[in-house]
A and B are shown apart, each in its own frame.
Chain A
Amino acid sequence: MSTATSDLTATGAGHDEEPLLVVEDLSTTFSTGGADIRAVEQVDLSLERGRTLGIVGESGSGKSVLSRSIMGLVPKYATRTGSVRFDGREMIDADTDVLREVWGAEMAMVFQDPMTALNPVQRIGHQIMESIKEHLDYSKTQRQETAIALLRSVGIPEPERRLKQYPQELSGGMRQRVVIAIALACGPGLLFADEPTTALDVTVQAQILDLLETQQRERNMAVVLVTHDLGVVATRADEIAVMYAGRIVEQAPTEVLFREMRHPYTEALLKSIPRLDLPSHTRLAAIGGRPPDLMHPPAGCRFASRCDYAQDRCREEEPPLSGGDERDSEGHLYRCWYPVGISRPQTTVDTVVEETHVRSPDDPQVSEALDGSASDRHGTSSRDGDAPASAAEDA
C-alpha cells in the first residue's frame, strides 16, 4: 500500500538478503471422496517488507486457499507441495507447534466477516489480549495498556470502555477495526487481509483500507490483500497477481497490469465491471460460460473455453507463466500463447472506457453449462442483514 513505483520486482535493492516471503512452486490439493481438487497450482511469489501484493480472482479461483496455504491454515485433507520461506525459514513442513509460534506473532490474518471472526461470548479486551498473552511476556497491566493503545490506533473511540464490550455492541466497521487490532497485536511482519472490506459499506471500506495503509506504513509490514475487486487493489497494491482456476494467470506491478495487461482473462474482468465514468445503460461485456471443474481441469489453457481469442493450441497445451517479450515491462508475467498487446492491440484501463464496452449482440449466455456447482458466488452479502449464504468460496 505504499506509493507505487515501477521497480516492483521483489529483489531487495542493493543487498542479497532474501525477501520476507518467498513462495516457490506451491500447490495445494484437497483430497475429497473421489477425485482430487487442485485448488492452487504452481504458484511462485515473493514479497518484501513494507510492500503490498494484491491477489485478485473470482469465487473458486483459489485466492483464499493460496493465502491460507502460505500461512499453513489448511485442513488435514489438504496436501501442500513446494516451498514457503518466511523470514528465511521453510514453513511448508513445519509442524503445528512451530506454526503456533508464528501465527499471530509474525504472520496474522484479517478475515472477511468481522462478526464470525470474533467470538460473540467474549469481551473485546479478552480477544485482543489473548494473543499478546500467548506470545509476549507482558504483565496484566502491560497487556491492558497495549490493548487500549491498539484500539486507539485503529480509530476506535473510548478504547477503555470498548475493552469490556462484546462484538455485537459494535457496528460492522468497528468490529473490523477490532479484528485488525487483534491481527496487529503482536506486531506481525506479514499481514494477510482476505477480503477485509467485502462485508462493509463503501464509505466504511475506504476508512478500513486507509487504516490498513497507515498501519502498514508505521510498522513496515508486508501485506497480502486478497480481493475479488480490481478497484480495491488498483490504488492499494504495489503488485497484483490475477488468479483463475487455481493458477496465477498474470502477475505484474500494478501500473503495468492496468496499462499493459496481457492475459485475456484480466482484460475480460476489467471490461465486465460497471464503471462510474461510463454513461448509464452501457452494455457490459459479460464473460460467458464458467470456470473449469478443478477435479477435471482441461488439458490446455484453463481460460480457453471462455476466451474470445482461443485457438487450437490454447486447448491442447497449457501456456507457462512467463514474459520476456521486448514490449513487456520488468516483472510482468502471464500465461497466454496469444497475449493482448502482442498478438493483438493493447487494452488498457482507458481504452475500456473509450470503447464504451462494445459487445457482441448474442450474449454467450450460460445455457451451455447446466452442470451444477454454485461456483459463481462470492460469499459476501451480509450488507443488508441477509445472512450470507455459506458459499463454498474457493473450496
Chain B
Amino acid sequence: MAGRGSAHLGEPEDALLRIENMHVRFPSGRGTVYAVSDVSLDIRNGETLGLVGESGCGKSTTGRAIMQLPPPSEGAVIYSGDDLTGMKGERLRGLRTKLQMIFQDPISSLNPRRKVEDIVAEGLRIWKIGSDEERDAKVDEVLEAVGLDPNTARGRRPHQFSGGQCQRISIARAVVTEPDLIICDEPVSALDVSVQAQILNLLEDLKGRYGLTLVFIAHDLAVVKNVSDRVAVMYLGRLCEVGPPDVLYSDPAHPYTEALLGAIPEPDPDLRDRQREPLSGELPSPLAPPSGCHFRTRCPRADQQCTDEVPEMAPTGDGRVVACHHPLVETAVSVGAGSTAG
C-alpha cells in the first residue's frame, strides 16, 4: 500500500477541489523531509472527506498544502478551474474566504486579547462584506448557529470560554465568510468525549445548513468514520486506501488499515480476547522513506515486489481503491499491472 495513482479520482466536474500528484518536501538540517509523496485526491461537492492516519503520515500537511500553507513542492491543487499552486498575492488571498480552516487547539487558535465579535467578524471586515449592520447580523447568526448565545458571547474574550466553546467560536469564524470548503485539522482531539460528541454533531448540522464541503483530518478512526462520506487512509506521506467508511472499516483492503483498526481499544470487554496482531516496529524516517511501498518494512505481506515497485491505486469494485500489491480484498487489476482506470 502506501502508493500512488489516480484510479480513485472521479470525474473532474464532480470535484470541488482536486489534488493532482502532490508532493510536499521540507528542507531540514539532516536532509529533505518527504512529508507528502505523490498524493492525488478529489474532494467532491458537499461531501466530508476523512483523512486519517498516525503522526507523520502527512494528513495535516496535505490539509495545509491545499490551503497553500505552504504551497506544495510539486503537483497541482485545482479549485474551480484554477491551479492554486501557481497563485500568489491578492488573488490567492481572495480565495481564502472560500477555503477555511479549523485547528486542533481551540484556545491557542483564538487571539486572547480580542472580543469574540471581533474574532468572528474579522473576515467580513477585511473583505468589506456588507454594511456594519449586516455584519452584526451575520455574526449573531453564526454564533447562534454554533450554539452560543450572541448576547452573552459577543463581548467576551476567549479565556472566558471552555475548550468546547472556543472550538464553537473557531467554527463560527470559519463559516462566517460562507466558504465552500473547510479543512478541519483534528478539531475534536483536544476535547473530552462528551464535548467531542457535541462538536461532531454541530459540524454535521452546519454542513447541511451552509452547504459545506469538509476535509476532516483526525487520528481517531471512530471519529472519522462518524463524520465522513469517504475516508482516505495515509501512511508515511502516501495514500493507502480511499473508500466509503462502511466498506473500508468492515473489510479493510490495505494491511495498514487492518492493523490500525485492530489497534483501537473499543469500549467493550468482550473484545479482550480478540485476535490481533499488533503492528511491530517503528515508523521509518521521512528523511529516507523505504523504496517501493512505504509500508513494506512493517507489513506482514511484503515481498520483493513491494521493495521494487510503488503500488498504484486500483479499484476493488465496491467503490473503494487501494494501493497495495497484495491487498486483503481482490482488486480489479491483476497483480503488478499499474492502472489509471477511473
Contact = CB atoms under 8 A, between A and B. Distances in A.
Contacts of A75: none
A370 B108 contact: no
A277 B191 CA distance: 22
B16 interface: no
A388 B107 CA distance: 11
A275 B192 contact: no
Interface stretch (A130-138, A264-272, A328-336): A264-272
A373 interface: yes
A307 B44 CA distance: 40
Contact of B186 (A204, A349, A383): A383
B90 to A, nearest CB: 30
A281 interface: yes
A37 interface: no
B144 to A, nearest CB: 8
A58 B198 CA distance: 15
A252 to B, nearest CB: 11
A279 interface: yes
Contacts of A205: 263, 265
A377 B190 contact: yes
A380 B105 CA distance: 10
Interface in B141-164: 147-149, 152-153, 156, 159-164
A278 B221 CA distance: 12
A370 B282 contact: no
A273 B267 contact: yes
A203 B259 contact: yes
Contacts of A385: 55
A285 B197 contact: yes
A286 interface: yes
B18 to A, nearest CB: 23
Contacts of A11: none
A384 B104 contact: yes
Nearest to B205: A363
B107 A235 contact: no
A383 to B, nearest CB: 5
A79 interface: no
Interface string A351-395: 000000000000101110010111111101101111011010000
Contacts of B262: 206
A207 interface: yes
A321 interface: no
Interface in A216-253: 228-232, 234-236
B307 to A, nearest CB: 22
B170 interface: no
Contacts of A272: 193-194, 196-197
Contact-residue size bin, chain B (C-beta under 8 Å from the other chain): 35 or more
Given A174-B282, A272-B193, A377-B192, A280 B105 contact: no
A268 B271 contact: no
Contact of A274 (B198, B226, B270): B226
Contacts of B189: 380-381, 383
Contact of A228 (B55, B159, B193, B263): B193
A172 interface: yes
B287 interface: no
Interface string A71-111: 00000000000000000000000000000000000000000
A367 B198 CA distance: 12
B195 interface: yes
A202 B189 CA distance: 13
A192 interface: no
Interface string A52-84: 000000110000000000000000000000000
B278 interface: yes
B85 interface: no
A391 B265 contact: no
Nearest to B158: A374
A287 interface: yes
B200 interface: yes
Max chain B CB contacts within 10 Å: which of A228, A232, A287, A365? Answer: A365
A275 B222 contact: yes
B269 A210 contact: no
B268 A203 contact: no
B282 A374 contact: no
A290 interface: yes
A203 B279 contact: yes
A301 B200 CA distance: 28
Given A202-B54, A228-B193, A269-B193, A373 B198 contact: no
B283 interface: yes
B25 interface: no
Given A231-B264, A282-B226, A374 B152 contact: no
A279 B152 contact: no
Given A207-B278, A384-B60, A370 B249 contact: no
Contacts of A270: 267
A121 interface: no
A284 interface: yes
Given A277-B266, A280-B229, A366-B162, 8 more contacts: A174-B282, A229-B265, A268-B194, A274-B220, A276-B249, A363-B202, A374-B159, A380-B189
8 contacts: A171-B283, A201-B219, A204-B54, A235-B268, A268-B194, A287-B194, A287-B197, A381-B105
